[in-house]
Structure formats: structure tokens, C-alpha cells
Structure 1
Amino acid sequence: MNKQKTLYWMMAIAIANSPVTWAETQDESVELSTLVVSSKRSTELEKLDVETKIISKETLEKTDVQSLDGLNGLAPGLSILQRGARIYNNISLRGQSSMDFYVPNVLVYVDGLVQDQGTLGQALPIATRQVEVLNGPQGTLYGRGAVGGVINIITDKPGEGKDFELSTSQSNLKQMVSGRVNQALGDSGLFFDLSGHYLDEDGEYKGLLSGKDLGDSLNKQIQGRLRWAPENSPWDVMLSLRHDEIRSSEEQYVPESDFSRRRAFPVENEYSLRLDSYGLIASYDFDKVKVSSLTSYQGRDFNRVVFSQASPESQKTITQELRITSLPSAYDTFSYLAGLYYEDTDFSFARPGSLMESNQTMETMAAFGEATWYVTDKLDITTGLRLDRNKVKADASFAGITNQGSDTFYSTSPKLVFGYQLTPETRVYALYSEGSKSGGFTRVSTPAIVNQSYDAQKVRNYEMGIKTRMLDERLWLSAATYFTKTDDYQLYLGFAPNQYLDNIGETEVKGISFDSHFAATDRLNLFAMWAYSKAEFTDYDATDTDLKGNATPYVPRSTANVGLEYDLPVPQSIGKLSFHTNALYTGTMYFDQENVDKQSSYTLWNAGLRWQPQHNVNVDLYGNNLSNKDYAVYMFNGGPGLGNLYQLGRGREIGVKLTLSY
């Protein structure tokens, strides 16, 4: 606490003595970029023929979003909820939930590098500029195929953004300090940045018998990046090194009778995670094309104790992507990108107390690409194709008994898009795309099931949408309707420790989404987003029970986020003062395929106040879940004598955040 107070005093002194004031910079303005980097061709948001959402840095700062699950509800149909430990966070996007703990349907990228699922619980990069959410299969754009969508985190590279950033927040649930130094090393085009992050989160659970506080988490992160990008040079090369350490007892489970009291079942649940991420991104601009190489290594050691049973696992992944992309000014009638991708993953899991161990090696090779033909000044046609080969080897041992299995899976995923500019303000599009999630073997395996492979999951997506600006561009609207059919849907069956992943049949998702922003006055901005996804089994052949028509697990039937921001009229000498509030609605969600256990719909109310005494200083007062609503994010049946056990969402949080930059 003394460190926090000292830091607040340091920032208060900086506010008082900074030579830069609003009076001196009132004529300056900053226009937020509408370029969607995720398209790989830096397409304007209004011209991208797929449902897309950009989440700005300002939005993340105002509500003190620190990690991936803080993005929950910030894009239509996007639900990110804790499931066990946060590295297993369930990401559901437009009816596509991540039932596989280890290979999510929705992938996360940082600056074009795919992230290991172990990063789902860590802090967002300090230099985050914006977050882009692309819906549906994206295999023709990205090295690793994504069947449900992509969350792409874009950062300010060394040499971009502020030279110095310092941020700290204090609330009833967490304490955070983060900072970044960004400097040029001479005049040779060499830049360097160093950033660090410290996040201490307080648990909200009590021991059922001990009464002790449970659920604390401590996250430490450090990252260094070196970039060579000489002025007027075709080269841009960046090396990044990042290390994360997390210690947490967040994985607590509450019996139904103690739901509102948050009293956790008396077993040991804790983990430590060490994650190392290295990346090398190099690009060279020729006259008409850019050639890029993206290389990454990610290694994690996850020492987990769940229900008093040690369950350590480790994973090491190497990826290599080569890509060629046409430059925007190169051709008048077409543009394109094409790439090759390679990935090698080694995974191991053990339960020493049960004499159980399993290992897997997964190798992926893919070719992908797409091209757009500008038929007229209004009509575009895009075609794409992805080819995949996935080879998996697995072995498992239990009490001295060992077994092995191996298999290879191939898939082809096409894409076809028509985009039409009705007017300068309105664009419509229609698309068909496919995605494939590889088959394989259950990661947490025993000799009895190690040679039982499951087939690839095939997704077919149909979508139509419209994007428009109205009322002198004060009103922006985007809407889409979609139908997604999945064959050989992958779902966990059985009971631990012999639970296994298998193909259970077919599912369908029928939905509609809506996103809007309205500048009602010079001071008042309104926004609303809504998504409805009817995701259900259309053929279920895993058991004799007919589950046709049941909702697929972990998919909220509907989600909505409605809010406003108002710039308060204050004297210029005070700076800028704005108020924001929103209501985040999550519809009914089932936790099992039988549709017996569910979380009913609920609404979270949030609000905040931002004061900018100077253009380089922000003071944010924020409140999340102001009504202190209790709701479940994960649940399973613990068996006779235990019944249903729940994990709960975050309770009320009130905090203040200070940000200083130069």
C-alpha cells in the first residue's frame, strides 16, 4: 500500500508541474484510426466485408480492462468467461464456443503472432493501441485457422506512440502498476521499448470451513522489444521478448447452497504459470508487394493443483509464417495475399498422484490466401482458399500401462465474398466461408482412450451484412445476419479422469447482430450493440438420448451492451471531464448438453468518470457491476454428496486509475 501511495503522490506532482496544458493544445486533435489491421491489407472498417469491431485504447483505459476477459461484451456476441483457471477462459463469439480447453474456436493474435491458450489469463500488452474482433472463419487470412473468429491485439511498436507511459489503479478488488519506456537509439532507425506490468487481484471467496480469504492472483509481466525501421527504408524488423509469471488461487468452486455467500468447497485449488514468448517479425516492401516473415516461440509451465490433486502440464510451440501481400497502391483492379504456415507443438500432462502421464506432438502445415477483384468502382469479389495438414502423435501411461496413437488430418476451406458500395455512405456484402478445426487425441488421456482419435470439425458459415453512415455521418450502423452449420462437432464426454473429446454430431447457429454509434450532440455520444444466436444440436449421436433441439453449452442466447458518454461543460482551466455508463446484458446460458444446468439472464451496470486536467494525464474513476450481481460463469456436477459446484463472476468493483504519458 505504501508503494501505491508513493506512486499516487508522484503522479500528482507530475500533473501539477507538467508544462503541457489544455490551453496550449486546444487546437490539436487526434483522429482514431479506422484501419483494420486484421484484414492484412489495412482495410477501412466500413469497406471490410465481414462483421468486425474495433475496441479503442480509450475504451480499454476508461473501464480499466487489464486482461482478455475484460473484453467480455465489448463486441456484438463476444462472451469471455472464466472456466476453471483463466488460461482455460471460454471465448464464445456469435454462437461458436470453445468447448475444447486446449484449442479454442476463437483465436487470439498479438501483432500478427498467434498466442498460446496459456496467454488467455495474462495481462494485455501495455502498448495496446486497439483490439480488433473479426467474426467467422478466418483461415484465408491467418496462418493458424480460426473457425469461430479472431481477436487481434494491435500494439504501438517501438518508435510509435508515447516516449513514456505510466499507469496505476487501485480498487477494492485489485492493485495495478504498469509502465513503458519507448526510445530511439541514435539516428540509424533503431528503436527500443521496455514495459512492465504488476497486477495484484484480491479474491472474493471464503473458505467453507476455514473462513479464510481465497481466490487471490498475482500477475507479473516484463517485455522488451527492439525494432529496426530506418526512415525511407523498405525494411521493418522487430524482435520481442516477453516473460509472464502468475500465481493464483482463483479456481474456487462454490456449492449451490453457498452461492450468494461465495463460500468455496474445502479442497486445495491453486496454480503457478510461467510463460515465455519470443517473436521475430520482419517485412520488406518491394514496389508492389510486401513480403513478411513471422516467427514465434512460446513455452509455458503450468503447475496446477485442482481438488487437491497435482496436475502439472507444459507446452512448447514454434510457429513460422511467410506471407506476401500486395501494397494498396500497387494495382487498380485487384489485391491479394498468400502465405505458408508451419507449427510444431509439444505437450505433456501428468497426475503424479494417480500414476498418470500423457504426451502429444502436433505438427501443422498450411497454405492460405485470398484475392479481391475490383470489378467496378462499386462491386468487389473476393475468393480465398486454405489447405491444411495436421499430424498428431500421442502416448499415455497409467500405473505402468502404456499405449500410443497417431493420425493425420487434411482439410480444404474455401471462401467467396461479394461486396457492393450502394452509396458513398452505405455498403452491403454477402459471404460464404468454411473453417476446419483439426482432429486429434484427447490431451488429458489414459491408455484406455489414447488411441481413440476424433475427426476434424467442419464449419460452414453464411453471412450477409450492411454498414452505413447517416445524419451527416453522426450515426454509424452495422448489422449482419448469419447461419453457421458445424459437422462433427467436438465435445467432451464421460467423467474424469477418463473424460475424452469426441465428435457428437451436428450443430447449427442462426443469428443476427447489430452495432451502432450516434453522436447526438457535440457532447453526447450513444452506443448500442446486440446479438442473438440460436445455437443448437441438430443431430446428436454420442448417446442414446435424443438431444436434438437442445442449446449448445456456453453460448448465451443473446447479449447486449447499451451506453452513453457525455462531456461535461466545465471551465477550460479545469481540463476535460466526461461521464460514461453502460448496461451489459447476458442471456440464458446452459452449462451442459442436456440443458439441465444453466445461468439465467442477468444485467451488469457499469459507470465511470474521466478527468483530463492536461492532454497527457488521465484520471479515471470507474465502477463495474455496481449492483453487485451474483452470477455463475462455470459449473459442473461434483457427483453424489457434492452436487453442483459453481465458479462466480466478479462482484462489485470501485476504483481509480491514473495515467501519465509524454
Structure 2
Amino acid sequence: MANATRTASFVRLFAAASSAAMALSATTTVFAQEAQADEQSQTIQEIVVTAQFREQKLQDTPLAITAVTAELIEARSATNLADVAKAAPSVVLRPASASFGNSITATIRGLGQLDFNPALEPGVGMYIDDVYYPRLTGANFDLLDVERVEVLRGPQGTLTGRNSEGGAIRFVSRKPTGEGGNVSATYGSRNRMNLRATADFKLTENLFARISGTFADQGGYVDVIDYGCAVPASGVPSTVGGTNCNLYKQGDVGYRALKGMLRYAPNDDLDIMITADYMNDARNNAPEVLLFGTGGNPNTRTSNGLPLSNNFICGPRCNYTTTGSNAGSWQAGVAIPGLQGLPLAAVAGQQQTLYEGWGVSANIDYKLTDSLQIQSITAYRAWDTSFSVDGDLSPANTQFGNNALSHWFWSQELRLNAKLADNLDLTVGGYYSDELTTYYTLQDIRYVSVPGLPPALSPLFPLQFIGNDPVDTEAKGAFGTLIYKPTEAMTITAGVRYSEDAKDYTFFRYNLDGRTINAFLDGIGAVYGAGFSGPDVRDANRNGNVTEIVSSLTGRTASFRGSRWDYRLSLDYRFSPEVMAYATTATGYKAGGVGPRPFNAAQARGFGPEEVTSYELGIKTDLLDRRLRVNVSGFYNNLKNAQLTLLECPQFGGPGPCALPQNAGDATIKGFEFEAFFNPVAGLQFDASASYLKYTYDCVNPAVVGLPGGACSSDPAVISRLADQAQGWQWNFGAQYEADLGSAGSLTPRIDVNRQNALPGNVLRAAPGSPSEQFGQVPGYTITNGRLTWRNAERDLDISLEVTNVFNKYYFLNKFDLSGLAGSILGQVGRPREWALTVRKKF
């Protein structure tokens, strides 16, 4: 009954908003007549999108879609994907913590993925010129030579590519046309240097080329300080001499990219595009600070015996991180035979996060007849990345890790677009991709303790090991969409998709010598060797029969195989040239797999697919002679088997580290979205977006939250163990005015204000008064940006002065809460106030 009441309230809220928009449209004719008399009236730019793989006006597409043009991207001082996403309602894209290297977290309408590991699927599909990008690593794309970005909200997959439950983000590049080019240079805060250039030229009558490049360099804003130098009385050995204790800065930028496009278009029927790109991102680790630290385990102390504590908190924009852990002698605090006096080897890493990637693709559009078109998209991409992680940002030795991933991916997609009749269109297609990612890691984890005892008295065992795990992923899909117009005003869209997903993950857990198997992680493998599988000898000796087959973790391949049918059904109706409404129901899913980071054999556990059924109502309007655009949408999602990554899981294998994906339970996600563009007079423009999201668990798997029981439980005592997911309000507002200076050109001031909602720091709810509650949550924040642009009368030269984070707001992009295990809470600090001057020339 309560759920039905909430649903009814949601429907009433959406209906009220829709009614208001309809009422406003009734006055459109009057205002339009007045607008026609105003010679300086300015209509909103018409945006053509290809979200349904036909050229359609944005306002004719029955999807909740945000289309951001290159002009608006530039006006908002956006430089990467995360900047663009701030303008889209219900979208949260943020750089990931340093523990996840060069990657992002991505959710749309509360669905997506926070963990970059290749064992998990993103949930938000990302496409560059129709080519699917399968990983969160390297996904905060630079906006190099982009024509527009389309953000599609809600399940996608019946038209293209992979099955994406949350939505999809599509980058559309500028095509070579044989004309034009541009170059720009930027200088700004902390020696920021940006250079961009594009050349577009004709090789022959039907052959065109376009080359684009970008260079970005900037100093960091979080100081890394040598603790022994800064606090000599501590006795911690210093690694530098003299009085300058600053080692380097985090939060810097070091990005280079190059893209070339070759287009062959001999006639209106054939268009072939070959694209190649290369990118290199080399920068220091993500700008993080220690917010809380405590630890009594003697194995985690500094080389001179200091424990992790809040004394190692440096300040709002500095830390004492190190690039390794010291050698030492590990001592067990409990009487465990054979575990006394084990040596701890020293480990060392790198201060930089490195990423290098390249890709090639071929897009072929061929019109077989006037009513039949075939499209082929073939792509290959590869990248390598490496980074090191100091888990406490201090000279203490709680945990340290080196990580290196090597990845290749290729995909093939075919689509056939057919016009079966004047009122009937069909798209059918197929998709196939294969990828292999090898994840090498060296981990040095020293904080493991016996539960219930003081850490100083109960160190249990050290975890120094090497993993080198290949992850093989294969995806197949077949899809079809039928678009039928029974009347001029009504359109019915029906789509279906079949998906097959396969993933194989092979574990290797060696000691630091790279040859012998680590007995703490893989006792069976240490005794019987890699790949062993056989009867439990202990059980046979005890009971006289064999009831269980045991196997080593090292050499074990865990597999996931899944298939799924999904659908989309949509009805839209155009009440007038100014107003269209639509209703949509769709399904989507995210494949399952196996926990990729088992710190004991029991954590090598599988998890099932995540499934969603979405219901959506929307209304799109162009009012006041197309000077006011208002789009409203509301959605209601039923989520089954929600996937969450647990950072604490003593219920699975005992004490120690945890990073285990599991199916937490079922949830209801509902929300409201609003977008508006308003050009009241010539030169003046307002744009705004807002969304409200409510994520409510209907039942929770007790085992996931450490309670006994089997079936998904609706008991509030069980549900309350999980933290509230990303929810609440987020919004964006922008305004600009282009003042005409006659022969002197124009001057355009612009302001943007963006509000991001709060996020939990851990999937488990923080106990009242705990460090997690005090320091581990990610508060919401509001950022204001300003820009002033002069453009000459010919509109081929402009000079812009921008200031981002005008009020120098101190905020966090994310937090990494391991206070329940390692005793630390880290936070990634957002960028402070920055200024930049850009000169851009078009040719």
C-alpha cells in the first residue's frame, strides 16, 4: 500500500508538470504573434540527433535525451566527459579514487558502475562515433573535435551495440568536409597550457581528411610532503635534504592526443569513414588527502614505530604519501604455529598514473536502394595503464599496491535500416565483441587482525602477493526496432534485443618471487600446485567418504554465461507543432561474473546479473515561437538483484580485506527530470536542468550485510544496513548575453552554476557517531563558473577569459572509506578556483 501511495504521488507530480507545460502551450499562438513582430527575436537552435540511427530533430525523438553541441561545450568551459555530464539531469560522472587509477564512476538514473575492474560491466554504454567503449578506464574522454554529445537516459540496446541498463553516452565527431580548420591556445592557473588544432582538407574530389590534436599540461594543487623532513622530531627518516620538504603535486594534467579521419564519399549512396586515434595521459596520482587515520597493528607502523594516526593528516590540500612500504619483521599477536617472525619485504612503486591507448575504426554507410541502407561499424582498441596506491597517504605501512592493466578489444556491428512504407521504418542488426584484459597487481597488505581483539594484540597474517589475472569477455547481440506512424501525430516504437554474455576470469596468487603460491590466499594451491582440483582428503579421512571437491585458487578459471531478452515499447503523440508527449517501458540488464579480488578462497564468489524494468513518461515542448524549450520526464524503475561491491565482508571467509561484488537485493528507483532553454530576446540565453532521484531498497539479501538468513528480506532492520545510494536533487543553470559591438564584434559574458548531490562513501550504512559518518560521506556541492568571450565581426577569432570554481569552493569528488579495516578514510579534493585565457582562430 505504501509503495502504491508513493507511485501515485509520483504520477501526480509528473501529471502536474505536464499539465503546466500543456497550459503554457495554449498561449503559444498569442506570444508567437508578438514574437513575429519583434525583428530581433531569436529561436533556439534546432539540434538533429541520431540516437535512433536516423536523423531526427531532438524534439521529435521519444527519448529522454540531452544533446550538448560543440558551441555549448565551449561556452561552459568543458574539457572532458565529466564536465559535459554535469548539464544532464540524473547523470553522475566523476573521476574515480586513486585506488582505481585513470578511470571514472558513471551512473544514469542510479544505475551504472563505480568499479573499474574488467570483471564487471559498466551499465552505462559509451560510444565514440557508434563504436562501443567497454571499460571505465580511460573513459573521461577529452572533447577533441566533437560535434555534439548525446546523453540517452533509460535502458538502451534495442537499436545498437551493448545492452546498457542505465543509459548511453554518444560522442559524435565532426566529419571531414574538405573545408576549414582552427587552432587555439590557452594559458592559465598553475602554468596551464592547452594547444588544440584541427585541419580539414580535400585530397581528391571525393576524398576528405581531418586531423586533430590536443596538448594539455598543468601543475597540481595537492602537495605531497616528505613527513620526516616536515616533522623531524618524529624520527621518521627523511628522503630529501635541506628545508624544502615538498616532493611534488597531485592533481596535475599531462595529456596528449591525436586523431585522424579519412572520408570517402563518391556519391550520396556511399560514405566510408576510417578513424585512427592515439592518446597518452601521464600525471601524478589523483589529488587525495587523509581525513581519518588510526591503527594499532604493529606491522603497519612506520620504520621507527609510529602507528597510523590523525597526526598524519596534513591539511586540506596536502598529504604525506609514500611510493612504497618498508621491509620489516612481521610478528603474530596470537599463538599460531609457524606464523612467528615472518619477513616483510620492502615494496616500491611509482608516483604517476600512466595511460596509453590507441584505436582504429571503420564506419561504412551504404544506401542499397532509396528505402534500404546498411551500416557497418568495425573497431579495434588497445590500451595499457599502470599506477600505485598508498592506502593511508602517510609513512605508515597499512597497505600499498602496484597495478598494471593491458587491454585489447575489437567489435563488429551491422545495422540494416529499411523504410517499409511511408509510415513504417525498421532497424535490425547484430553486434559482436571480444576483449582480453590482463590485470597485474602487487599487493602489500599488513593490517589484517583478529576480529574482536585490539589490533595491537591480534595481527593475524601478512598479505604480500602478486596477481596476474586474464579476463576474457565476449558479447553477442541481435536487435530490432520498428517505428510505425498510424497517424500523422502518433508514433509507435517497438524494439527487442537478445544478448549473450560470456566472461572467464583466471586467478593467480603468487608470493613476491612470482613463482611460489601464496599460502595465506591459496592454501590448496600452495600444497598441491596451481590448477589442482580433487577430493577433500581431510573429509575422506574423517568420514570415510568424499563429499566435496576442492581446488586451488591459482589457476582456477571462474566463468559466467548468460543470455537475456529485452524490449522497448514507446508511444508518442504530437498534440501540436509545439508539444509532443510520450510514454515508454523498457528493460535492460548488466551481466554477472565473479569477484575479481578474493583475499581468501571463500571470496572467489560469483554474482548474478542485475535487471531493470523502466517506465517513463515525458513531454517535449517548443514554445513562444521556438524561443522557449521545456522538456519534462519522469521514470519509475524496478531493479532486481542490484550489484554492490562490499568493502567489508567478514561473513565471507573471515577477517581481512574485501572488495567483493554481490547481488544486494531489489530496489525501486524513481525520479523527475527537467530541462529548459529560453531565448527571450536576441543575444540573451538561459539554460537549465534539474533532476530528483529516490533510490529505495525493497528487500536486501541478509548474507550481503552480514546477517543470517537466505531469501531477500524486507525487514527494515536488514534494509537499514545498506547506505542510501545517490539520490536527491541535482541541477544546473546557465545564462549568457551576446552584446553586439558592431564592427568591433561582440562581447559575451556567461555564468554557470552546477549542483551535484551527495554520495555515500561505503555501501554499508555508517554507524551514528562513527568515523564513517563523520568523515566518510561525500557532501553535495555547488560550483560556479564564469566566462567572458570577445568575438570579432567575422566570427573567426575569439578570445575568452574563464574562471572556474569562482568562489573557491572546497569539495570532494569521492571518498574511499576503509576505516573498518585499514583504519583510513581518504578523500579526492576537487579543483580550486582557476583562471584561463584562450585565443581561438578559425580558418
- Pair in the same fold by TM > 0.5: yes
Residue aligning to 1:656 = 837
Is the 8 Å Cα contact of residues 96 and 555 (structure 1) preserved in structure 2? no
| Counterpart in the other structure of 1:393 | 504
Paired residue for 1:298, among 381, 393, 400?
A: 381
Q: CA deviation at 1:143?
A: 1.1
Q: Which residue identity does 1:261 align to in structure 2?
A: P
Q: Match of 1:60, SS?
A: helix
2:212 is aligned to 195
SS in 1 for 2:102: helix
Provide Cα deviations, 1:391-428, integer angstroms capped at 9, x if missing partner: 11121011223122223111111111010111111000
Superposition pairs for residues 444-459 of structure 1, below 5 Å?
A: 444=597, 448=601, 452-459=605-612
**Paired residues of 1:397 and 1:447 also in contact (CA < 8 A):** no
Shift of 1:155: 0.9
1:594 deviation in Å? 2.7
The within-5 A match list for 1:256-275 is 256=291, 258=313, 261-268=316-323, 269-275=351-357
Matched, 1:509 2:669: yes
Q: 1:322 to 1:68 in 2, by over 3 A?
A: same
Find the aligned partners of 1:536 and 1:550 in 2 and give their Cα distance.
Answer: 13
Q: Is 1:599 matched up with 2:778?
A: yes
Q: SS in structure 2 opposite 1:598?
A: coil
Asked if structure 1 preserves the Cα contact closer than 8 Å seen for 2:647 and 2:659, the reply is yes
Q: Distance in 1 between matches of 2:148 and 2:722?
A: 33
For residue 79 of structure 2, what is the aligned residue in structure 1?
A: 66
The answer on 1:340 being equivalent to 2:438 is no
- Distance, in Å, in 2 between the alignment partners of 1:376 and 1:334 is 11
Cα distance in structure 1, aligned partners of 2:314 and 2:615: 41
Equivalent in the alignment of 1:628: 808
Counterpart position of 1:375: 486
Return the offset for 1:254: 0.7
Query: 2:104 is matched with which residue: 85, 89, 98?
Result: 89
Give the corresponding residue for 1:3.
none
Change (3 A) 1:446 1:314: farther
- Counterpart in the other structure of 2:204: 186
Corresponding position of 1:361: 472
Deviations 1:301-339 (A, max 9, x none): 111211242111111111110111135xx6311112111
TM-align CA RMSD: 2.3
Greater alpha carbon shift after TM alignment, 538-547 vs 361-370: 538-547
User: Are the counterparts in 2 of residues 406 and 451 from structure 1 also a CA contact under 8 Å?
Assistant: no
Instruction: Name the CA shift for 1:407/1:94 in 2 (closer, same or farther; >3 Å).
Output: closer
Question: Residues 97 and 815 of structure 2 are in contact (CA less than 8 Å); yes or no, is this contact kept in structure 1?
Answer: no
- Normalising by structure 1, we get a TM-score of 0.90
* Correspondence for 1:413: 566
Q: Which runs of 5+ in 2 are unaligned?
A: 1-39, 228-244, 293-312, 324-350, 391-399, 444-464, 511-516, 518-524, 526-553, 649-655, 708-716, 767-775
Give the match's secondary structure for 2:468.
Answer: strand
1:573 counterpart SS class: helix
User: How far apart are residue 260 of structure 1 and its match?
Assistant: 6.0
Bigger drift between 587-596 and 307-316 goes to 587-596
SS in 2 for 1:46: helix
Counterpart among 350, 353, 372 of residue 440 in structure 2 = 350
Residues 551, 590 of structure 1: 8 Å contact kept: no
Distance (Å, rounded) in 1 between the aligned partners of 2:734 and 2:208: 40
681, 700, 705: which one aligns with 1:543: 705
2:249 pairs, out of 207, 214, 221, with: 214
Once the two structures are TM-superposed, the CA of residue 441 in structure 1 deviates from its matched residue by: 2.2
User: Greater share of strand residues, 1 or 2?
Assistant: 1
Distance 1:299 1:552 in 2: 37
State the distance in 1 between where 2:56 and 2:720 align: 39
Q: Is the 8 A contact 1:398 1:446 kept in 2?
A: no
| Shift in Å, 1:70 | 1.6
* SS of alignment partner, residue 606 of structure 2: coil
Which string of whole-angstrom CA distances, capped at 9 and with x for unpartnered residues, describes residues 166-217 of structure 1?
A: 1221221532111111111122x11112221111132110124343342223
CA gap of 1:598–1:446, structure 2 versus 1, over 3 A, is closer
Distance in 1, Cα, partners of 2:599 & 2:362: 37
Which aligned pairs between 1:23-42 and structure 2 lie closer than 5 A?
Answer: 32-42=45-55
SS of 1:504 mapped into structure 2:
strand
CA apart distance, 1:479: 0.3
Q: Which amino acid aligns with 1:538?
A: D
What letter corresponds to residue 624 of structure 2 in structure 1? Answer: L
Q: Out of 749, 760, 778, which is 1:579 matched to?
A: 749
Partner amino acid, structure 2, of 1:39: Q
How many corresponding residue pairs? Answer: 629
Trace 1:69-148 onto structure 2 (pairs within 5 A): 69-85=82-98, 87-102=102-117, 103-117=121-135, 120-121=138-139, 123-148=141-166
Aligned twin of 1:610: 789
TM superposition shift of 1:568:
2.2
Q: Does 1:427 align with 2:580?
A: yes
The Cα of 1:125 is off from its aligned counterpart by 4.6
Match of 1:309 in 2: 401
Q: Percent identity?
A: 22
Residues 136, 127 of structure 1: CA spacing in aligned structure 2 closer, same or farther, 3 A cutoff? Answer: same
More helix per residue:
2
Instruction: State the AA in 2 paired with 1:304.
Output: F
Partners of 1:569 and 1:263 lie apart in 2 by: 46
In 1: Cα distance, 2:476 partner to 2:409 partner: 14
Tell me by how many angstroms 1:358 deviates: 1.4
Which residue number in structure 2 is paired with residue 244 of structure 1? 279
Q: Secondary structure at the match of 2:73?
A: helix
Q: CA deviation at 1:297?
A: 0.8
Following superposition, the deviation at residue 449 of structure 1 comes to: 5.7
Is contact 2:122–2:134 with CA below 8 Å preserved after alignment? no
Contact 1:396 1:450 in 2 (8 A): no
C-alpha separation in 2, matches of 1:470 and 1:296? 42
Could you tell me which amino acid in structure 1 is paired with residue 357 of structure 2? L
List per-residue Cα deviations over 1:316-371 (Å, max 9, x = no partner). 111110111135xx631111211100010111112245222211111111101211
1:525 aligns to 2:695 (yes or no): no
What's the CA shift for 1:233?
4.1
Aligned-partner residue type, residue 658 of structure 1: V
Tell me the TM-score normalised to structure 2 length: 0.71
1:324 maps onto 2:416 in alignment: yes
State whether structure 2 residue 61 is matched by structure 1 residue 48.
Answer: yes
Which protein is bigger by CA-based radius of gyration?
2
Instruction: State whether residues 334 and 371 of structure 1, in contact with CA within 8 Å, keep that contact through their aligned partners in structure 2.
Output: yes
Distance 1:511 1:113, change over 3 A: same
Per-residue CA deviation, residues 475-515 of structure 1 (Å, 9 max, x unaligned), is 11000111112111111124585422121111221110101
Q: 2:735 aligns with which of 564, 570, 576?
A: 564
- Structure 1 residue 294: deviation in Å? 0.5
